[in-house]
Structure 1
Amino acid sequence: MRVWSVLKKLSLKEFFQLAGLMLQNPLYILPTLKATKLTLEICNASYADTHHLHGKANAFRHALWNVLICQKTFKITKNDEKSIIWAQKVTDLHEELAPNEPLEKAMDLHNNQIGRFYFASIKGSSEEEIILFLKEKAQKGKKIIEIKDILDHQSNLVYLSEE
């Protein structure tokens, strides 16, 4: 993970938004960074670069990232809701700062939400079990063409294109 290269790309306003979020809960910074790094390692090993596209691998990555942030911060919070709220704040801010088209952003936000939803049912699972569970969910994901299509798939991961 190249934290410094990411930070250098942020505008001053974006940097302060990120810093402000991290200062709210400094104990969550390290678990969040570990979850992010682990997510990228797993996705790179499983999907190479295709998880950066807009297919099922991308849906998997977003769900996994949210599950892992929740799981790792849960060790500190001991509270599902606090961990879920933190994961949402981090991943929503990422989507706000990331340059994406509206449909791509909506897809990412949806898949982040689905990952947080899954967290409650798989939080005690091993890393391997979580990966298998989410890969299965990604394979059963639904292709969307318009933002409104997401409304038809409230409990499914969604994607835009075949990899």
Structure 2
Amino acid sequence: MNVWNVIRGLSIRQIFRLARILILQPLLIYPTLKATRQTIKVCDLLYQKKHHKNGKANAFRHGLWNLLICQRTFRVTKSREKSIIWAKKITDLHEKLAPNDPLETAMDLHNNEIGRAIFYAMIDNSEEEMIAVLKENTKNAKKIIEIDSILDHKKDLVYLSED
């Protein structure tokens, strides 16, 4: 993922919205970018291009992205809650700036939350242990076909289609 290509595709309003968030937390920019790059690298290695679709690989990518943002920014914030708030703010903004249809957006937001929850519960564990739990959750991800069914899977990753 080329960050500059993404930024070039934004409207002026979207750029100002992103800039406002980043200006308020400049020390969190680098760890967030590093987490984003690592997420893509890991997902490309594990799933090739399947993580760009709406299957289990995509669910894993969203969970991993949030988990890694939390973990990387925690080194700066020293606060579990601040890192989780930051990851939510950044990944929610991503969903607003690159919108999908409502079901895909709901799926992504839900899977983002699962990644943050794993970080919260396993903060004292290693990155490898957190990722192992996320991989296990991915194996057990639940297929959904409507937004309301997400509520039936509050602790599970969800996906829309087979990889």
TM-score of the pair, normalised by structure 1 = 0.97
Mapped partners of 1:142, 1:105: distance in 2 = 16
Contact 2:144 2:159 in 1 (8 A): yes
The residue aligned with 1:59 is: 59
Mapped partners of 2:90, 2:136: distance in 1 = 25
1:132 partnered with 2:113 = no
Contact 2:118 2:130 in 1 (8 A): no
Amino acid of the structure 2 residue aligned with 1:147: I
Report the alpha carbon displacement of residue 121 of structure 1 after superposing the two structures with TM.
Answer: 2.0
Count of aligned pairs between the two proteins: 163
The residue aligned with 1:114 is: 114
Q: Percent identity?
A: 60
1:123 partnered with 2:89 = no
Report the alpha carbon displacement of residue 64 of structure 1 after superposing the two structures with TM.
Answer: 0.5
Report the alpha carbon displacement of residue 35 of structure 1 after superposing the two structures with TM.
Answer: 0.3
Report the alpha carbon displacement of residue 24 of structure 1 after superposing the two structures with TM.
Answer: 1.1
Mapped partners of 2:107, 2:58: distance in 1 = 10
Q: Could you tell which deviates more after superposition, 129-138 or 72-81?
A: 129-138
What SS does structure 2 have at the residue aligned with 1:145?
A: coil
Mapped partners of 2:85, 2:128: distance in 1 = 24
Amino acid of the structure 1 residue aligned with 2:107: M
Report the alpha carbon displacement of residue 124 of structure 1 after superposing the two structures with TM.
Answer: 3.0
Amino acid of the structure 1 residue aligned with 2:135: K
The residue aligned with 2:31 is: 31
Q: Quote the RMSD (CA, aligned, Å).
A: 0.9
The residue aligned with 1:13 is: 13
Mapped partners of 1:19, 1:104: distance in 2 = 26
Report the alpha carbon displacement of residue 128 of structure 1 after superposing the two structures with TM.
Answer: 2.5
What SS does structure 2 have at the residue aligned with 1:21?
A: helix
Report the alpha carbon displacement of residue 106 of structure 1 after superposing the two structures with TM.
Answer: 0.3
Runs of 5+ consecutive residues of structure 1 not aligned to the other structure: none
Amino acid of the structure 2 residue aligned with 1:162: E
What SS does structure 2 have at the residue aligned with 1:162?
A: coil
1:141 partnered with 2:141 = yes
The residue aligned with 2:94 is: 94
The residue aligned with 2:151 is: 151
What SS does structure 2 have at the residue aligned with 1:99?
A: coil
Amino acid of the structure 2 residue aligned with 1:118: I
The residue aligned with 2:75 is: 75
1:49 partnered with 2:53 = no
What SS does structure 1 have at the residue aligned with 2:161?
A: coil
After superposition, the C-alpha distances for 1:81-126 in whole angstroms (9 at most, x for unaligned) are 0000000000000001113010000000000011111111222333
Amino acid of the structure 1 residue aligned with 2:127: E
Report the alpha carbon displacement of residue 4 of structure 1 after superposing the two structures with TM.
Answer: 1.1
